[in-house]
Amino acid sequence: MKQKIPLAGVIGSPIAQSKSPRLHRHWLRRYGLRGDYVPLHVDPEDLETVLRAMPKMGFVGANVTIPHKVAVMKFADQVSDRATLVGAANTLIFKDDGRIFADNTDGYGFMANLHQQAPDWDPRSGNAAVLGAGGAARAIIVALADAGVTEILLSNRTRAKADALRSEFGARIRVVDWVQAGNMFEDATTVVNTTSLGMIGQPELRVPLDGLRAGALVTDLVYSPLRTSLLETAHAAGCVTVDGLGMLLHQGVPGFERWFGTRPEVDEETRRVVLG
C-alpha cells in the first residue's frame, strides 16, 4: 500500500487571516518534508463531522482556533493534562485508528517565546499582572503559575470572568477591578496583555501605564500590530518588551513535531516568513 501524504491544517471560523499555514508550510519546505498544511473554514455545527472525516482523508492532525478550542474537547478520545487544566485544546493528533488526542500548547508557546526573547527574565522574581480573562488568559495563567510567579494580579472588564478564573485556578490569583487595573503594575515584574485591546480594528488599551516598573517584562498577546502601544509605552518606561508573534510561532512547534517527525526551530527567518 502506498503511504499517504501527511496533511495537517488549522480549523476555525473565520480562518482566512490565520498565519499558521504560512508557518507550517515554511517549516515543511525548510526541512524538505513531505506533507501539506491547509486553512479549513469549519462552522460549529460541522465540527464533529469534519473531525471524524479528517483522519480518513490523510490528516495526521490539526490546529484549532476560535471558536472551536473548547468545543473540540468533547470529541477527543484522549486529552493531555495541560489541555484538561486549561479547558481548551489548540492542537490535535489523529492516531492511526482515527482516535483523537487533544493538547494545548498555548502556554508552552507563551513561555518559550519569553525565554527566547528575554533570556534574563525570571518569572519567580515577583508578581505577574494579567489583563483579560478570556480564552487565552486561561493558558497564560496556568503557565505563569507553573513557572512560579509569586502572585497573579488579574483584571478584566467583566469582573465575574476574572472571579471565575480565581475560583478555578486558586488562591495565588488576586482579582483587581478593571477601573483600578493600572494599580497592578507597581507590584508586578511581569505584565501580560491577554485582551484583544490594541489589535488592529479593536479599541486601544486605555489602562493607565504610568505604574510600569523599569526592568519589568511586558508582553502583549496581540501581534497585529507587532509593536502595540502597550509595548511602545513599556519600552519608553525602561521595561523589557516581547511581542506576541513568537508565542504564535512557538505554540506550533509541538504539533509540527508530532505530525511530521521533525522538531522545527523558531528563529528570525521564521518570523520574517510568517510576517510576509
| 146 Cβ contact list (under 8 Å, min separation 6) | 107
Region of 35-43, 56-64, 156-164, 210-218 interacting with ligand NAP (CB under 6 A): 156-164
> Distance of alpha carbon 195 from its chain centroid, rounded?
12
- The C-alpha atoms of residue 71 and residue 121 are separated, in whole angstroms, by 35
**Residue 223, interface with ligand NAP (CB under 6 A)?**
yes
195 lies in the site for ligand NAP, by CB under 6 A: yes
Q: How far is the CB of 140 from ligand NAP (least distance, A)?
A: 9
User: Which residue out of 2, 19, 56, 69 is catalytically annotated?
Assistant: 69
CA dihedral sign, ordered 88, 89, 95, 99: positive
CB nearer to ligand NAP: give 39 or 132: 132
Scan residues 13-52 and list those touching ligand NAP (CB under 6 A). none
Backbone angles phi, psi at 30, to 5 degrees: -60, -40
Question: Smallest gap, in angstroms, from Cβ of residue 247 to ligand NAP?
Answer: 4
Residue nearest to ligand NAP according to CB distances in the complex: 134
Evaluate whether 178 touches 143 at the Cβ level (below 8 Å). no
| Residue (of 274, 275, 272, 256) closest to 264 by Cα position | 256
254: Cβ–Cβ under 8 A, 6 or more apart, which residues?
A: 91, 103, 105, 108
Decide if residue 176 touches ligand NAP (CB under 6 A).
Answer: no
Q: Which stretch binds ligand NAP (CB under 6 A): 192-200, 226-234, 257-265, 268-276?
A: 192-200
Residue 4 designated active-site: no
Sheet holding 188-193, edge to edge: 173-175, 152-155, 127-131, 188-193, 217-220, 240-242
Q: Name the minimum Å distance from CB 56 to ligand NAP.
A: 30
C-alpha–C-alpha distance, residues 127 and 118, integer Å: 17
CB 90 → ligand NAP: shortest distance, Å? Answer: 8
The stretch near ligand NAP (CB under 6 A) out of 121-129, 157-165, 167-175, 184-192 is: 157-165
Indicate the residue type of 76. A
The three-class DSSP label of residue 90 is coil
Closer CB to ligand NAP, 55 or 255, in the complex: 255
CB 260 within 8 A of CB 28: yes
Minimum Å gap between C-beta 199 and ligand NAP is: 5
- Using the minimum distance from each CB to ligand NAP, give the nearer residue, 156 or 241: 156
Of 19 and 55, the one with the shorter C-beta distance to ligand NAP is 19
Binds ligand NAP (CB under 6 A): choice among 244, 254, 255, 264:
244
Any bridge partners for residue 192, and if so which? 130, 219
Q: In the numeric block, which cell numbers belong to residue 29? A: 519546505
Is residue 196 part of the contact set for ligand NAP (CB under 6 A)? yes
User: Helix (H, G, I), strand (E, B), or coil: what is residue 172?
Assistant: coil
Catalytic (active-site) positions: 69
Q: What residue ranges bind ligand NAP (CB under 6 A)? A: 66, 106, 109, 132-137, 156-158, 161, 194-197, 199, 203, 221-223, 244, 247-248, 251
